[in-house]
A and B are shown apart, each in its own frame.
Chain A
Amino acid sequence: MAEVTTTDDDGGEPPTEGIQIDMISADRMDGLRTMEKIRLILDGVHDDNIVILESGLQPEEESKLIERTMTEINPDGDGFTGIEIESYPGGSGGDNGFLGRLMGNDDPNTLTVIGPADRIETLHKDETLISTLITRQ
């Protein structure tokens, strides 16, 4: 009789290693200072997680995120090569896109996906869809 089990009878490594996705609400981000937001994002990315922000970052915060990311890349160190970040195009350019207009939302920030540069690849992006490929290490 076939046996279904979730344990690893070989006593070796756990049978599965998933990819952790942290979805952070706008409410949670609203309560944080700029550096706290950046730390929350980069700590997640350093742990090889994918971080999804409901409401994205303000331009000043994006600027500091890029700067902070650069200071944490150590070419001969832990292998961290930076971040991949994607949000709907048009979000910062004055045109808030179809979804934003439909919701009557003039806020420039939109849902944003951030992950380790060596594990996330954007396959397609338009005003209504971000399609990414996330690879295991």
Chain B
Amino acid sequence: MFMGILTDLRSSISRATSSLFTGGEPKRIGIYGPPNAGKTTLANRIARDWTGDAVGPESHVPHETRRARRKENVEIKRNGKSVTIDVVDTPGVTTKVDYKQFLEHDIEKEDAVRRSREATEGVAEAMHWLREDVDGVIYVLDATEDPFTQVNTMLVGIIESQDLPVLIFANKIDLDEASVQRVSNAFPQHETVPLSALEGDNMDEVYDKIAEYFG
């Protein structure tokens, strides 16, 4: 019962904690989500828009990002103020990795096994970052996919248990099948921001919200 009350308080606390950040160090904002949600595309979009550099390679092959990558000192200017964050692009979180999934992408077995090993290490690393080393979270979902998955439920629950400020990004709105409403219905306790990281759609609102929540 006690933990339940705590959980109920968390969603309201999570927004409040964003205003409690102190000190001059940039906040580390982790970009989390399932594989192929567009996390690296978003990280690259943010980094390119404000620093001119990319964070890492993007791919349609799952688990392309197998190490957490940090882009430091990304200064975002909004409404006369500036917010400096470290963007941490993390591997897509999953509870299972089978090397055979890579064979479908014309990858040889030896390389597929290596990718699988690196992917598992990357997911473990991402979980560790989430427990200890991020100050806020952007949770990225592919808006064309069902958001009611166990991984999403668990990850958002873990983020809430850490009292971290979180924004839900409904990505890939450039695709016809995208449903932002479905995403916002899945996580009504958090703010959902629609965007296409690939096409750069709605990035003004994205940066407004990042400044509001993580500044």
| Chain A contacts to B: CB under 8 angstroms | 58-60, 62-64, 66-67, 69-71, 73-76, 81-87, 89-96, 105-108, 117-118, 125
Kindly identify which residue among B95, B113, B154 contacts A59, using a CB–CB cutoff of 8 Å. Answer: B154
Interface contact B113-A63, CB-CB below 8 Å? no
Kindly identify which residue among A67, A89, A106, A117 contacts B5, using a CB–CB cutoff of 8 Å. Answer: A106
B7 within 8 A of A: yes
B residues less than 8 Å from A59 (CB atoms):
154, 157-158, 160-161
Q: A70-B121, A106-B7 are known contacts. Are A58 and B161 too (CB-CB below 8 A)?
A: yes
Q: A76-B113, A84-B95 are known contacts. Are A91 and B153 too (CB-CB below 8 A)?
A: yes
What band does the interface of chain B fall in when counting residues whose beta carbon is under 8 Å from A? 35 or more
Interface contact B153-A70, CB-CB below 8 Å? no
Q: A75-B116, A87-B153, A92-B153 are known contacts. Are A107 and B1 too (CB-CB below 8 A)?
A: yes
Interface contact A105-B4, CB-CB below 8 Å? yes
Most buried by B among A69, A91, A92, A106: A92
Q: A63-B158, A82-B98, A94-B160 are in contact. List 19 more A-B contacts (CB 8 A).
A: A59-B161, A63-B154, A66-B93, A66-B124, A67-B123, A67-B127, A69-B95, A70-B120, A71-B121, A73-B97, A75-B97, A75-B112, A76-B99, A82-B94, A82-B96, A82-B97, A85-B150, A117-B96, A125-B148
